[in-house]
A and B are shown apart, each in its own frame.
Chain A
């Protein structure tokens, strides 16, 4: 834990993070948390039919977004996300009002034109594949983008994210198989965010392996389980795993233990759960202790985002709903 020892380490993973980066991670974590709480509030006030999102995964998801090689096409990273990754999208540079618009299913919803649930992002400009409600289909699709990247060359990688409960689906096994074939190992970071729940079913009722990351071992896939509630650990471990995939052009299975602070979705009430670790509280205590930010600074930041998000929600409330005739749009890609 002593500083001199850290400096001696040459490994990238153990290098301390710059103050500026810590502040940036914190800023995005707060922004994400406030966004999710605003989305929940919109749901509870009747300004949306359904909420699902990722409060409790900010430390991990923000780090992931900051570390992605952002852009469009195989030179950049592809993200096959699931529906708890607002933090990743904000870290990529998305404005939170887009999420509010999707919550309110307005015609202005930039991700689905009022068609899909909150948190179901699509951002081709950043290689973010469409998020869909089936929990693990992204694991079957991700090897495809990774194959193109492998052939294309360069250092772009594919990242796929899903939850622990969904690893019961065959698509997760498909991903392990397709990523690690000796004839064509793929540059893919396979992520499982483990919140130890599948809707209302606890982990003990779901699967028996000690660590989900152990499933990578049988395929010779480098694997690790990390504490995704620790922002510094999440960032450094993600950075190491991504560097490995980027340079070695081989798969890596990363399991991140995270929390689920407002339950599965609005279907389970979307109320704050008191008995789980809150990554933001933990990170703020550390930042305060290390003298990176003061309590006052952090409170001011949160207040500012709360006000901004409230104003954005008011704006979205008055925006038009989709035109009924719009149901016929985009069944097929138009000729350009």
Chain B
């Protein structure tokens, strides 16, 4: 099965061939590198930008204004922060002009910990990004969802922030992307650039790729359960699933929801699950103060209070200025499998 980086690459290939994507660009996005995580290798419309994040977001806005369909990349979300007012501007352009202009643009950026990236390659961006109105914000946890969400993003009329959990970019999927060859090694031979000289290399794209689209605003139940609900997305999602599997042996039945789409998000799915289980744990790795999970906790309290058997919980990153390089520091700063297992066990057993 394809990994997430390959899935993104195949979706972008499909989008530039069939969905009108005109410019896939950013720092080191074009040849020869094809992105520091290889997500843009071999694509037709890629080009390398100056090392200027404000220029990248600005150019995407301009390209979208002139009828292009850009997919811009910020190499690490840690470097998106100096573009915040441009993100705000992109988000308010349609509203401020009373619908006169709209910006069909996608920004992709790798987020989160998991590669021992130290202070400037480990940050999350979902808490900040979900605070900027006028955007749609998505974050896949599987290659198939990455493919499907990116197809939808490239059909949008509005700005889309596509957050890529960098710890999962190299993880192979468990579901086949429509059109993907049966054999992993065959796929790699077709679309992975060779090491060394690539000047003569051209990818051979799988012929059967299609517009498999995951709609925005739709989460999915990854694992069904009856006693408590775990809502997550991105890097922590597979950890939640694993924790739930482990705890099943102890007789704890946890339902795991992959939110996938942060704005708009699937409240109906969360609501139905929490009404069934009465207990909910929200998990993500952004810093916990003014975290998106706090919004979900607030809404749960306000709208589902009388369905609850225990207080809704949030497990998120520690409110620290950064994630330290040493293994012990990173592990202590953001939720790991053990933290999630403990949190689920604790919530499952909580009594008034």
A contact residues vs B (CB 8 Å cutoff): 73-74, 78, 80, 109, 111-113, 115-116, 120, 122-124, 129-130, 132, 134, 137, 139-149, 152, 158, 170-171, 174, 177-178, 181, 329-335
Contact = CB atoms under 8 A, between A and B. Distances in A.
Contacts of A120: 96
A178 to B, nearest CB: 5
Nearest to A111: B97
B60 A144 contact: yes
Nearest to B62: A144
Contacts of A141: 58-59, 61-62, 65, 86
A158 B58 CA distance: 14
A127 to B, nearest CB: 8
Q: Determine which residue in B58, B95, B104 has the highest number of CB atoms from chain A within 10 A of its CB, and name it.
A: B58
B158 A333 contact: yes
B94 A330 contact: yes
12 contacts: A109-B98, A122-B97, A134-B89, A140-B54, A140-B57, A141-B62, A143-B59, A147-B23, A147-B62, A181-B50, A330-B94, A330-B97
B184 interface: no
A115 B99 CA distance: 12
B133 interface: yes
B96 A140 contact: no
A295 to B, nearest CB: 41
A142 B97 CA distance: 18
Nearest to B91: A331
Contacts of A140: 54-55, 57-59, 61, 86
B89 A330 contact: no
Nearest to A120: B96
Given A141-B65, A330-B98, 12 more contacts: A73-B67, A111-B98, A137-B58, A140-B86, A141-B61, A144-B68, A147-B63, A174-B54, A177-B55, A178-B52, A331-B133, A333-B94
A48 B58 CA distance: 31
Nearest to A188: B62
Interface in B88-126: 89, 93-102, 104
B89 A144 contact: no
Contacts of A171: 54, 58
A147 B97 CA distance: 23
Contacts of B94: 330-333
A144 B65 contact: yes
B134 interface: yes
A249 to B, nearest CB: 15
Contact of B63 (A113, A144, A329): A144
B52 A174 contact: yes
A62 B48 CA distance: 38
Contacts of B67: 73-74, 148
Contact of A137 (B89, B101, B102): B89
A122 B134 CA distance: 18
Contacts of A174: 50, 52, 54-55, 58
Contact of A124 (B59, B68, B95, B101): B101
Given A148-B63, A178-B59, A116 B96 contact: yes
A329 B99 contact: yes
B18 to A, nearest CB: 19
Contacts of B63: 144-145, 147-148
Contacts of B96: 112, 115-116, 120, 122, 130, 132
Interface string B130-162: 000110100000000000000000000110000
Contacts of A78: 65-66
B54 A170 contact: yes
Contacts of B175: none
Contact of B99 (A142, A158, A177, A330): A330
Interface string B168-199: 00000000000000000000000000000000
A113 B99 CA distance: 9
Contacts of A178: 50, 52, 55, 59
A334 to B, nearest CB: 7
Given A124-B101, A330-B99, A331-B133, A148 B62 contact: yes
B47 to A, nearest CB: 8
Nearest to A143: B59
B186 to A, nearest CB: 35
A121 B177 CA distance: 46
A137 B66 contact: no
Name the 3 nearest CB pairs between A and B, nearest first.
Answer: A144-B62, A140-B58, A333-B102
Contacts of B68: 144, 147-148
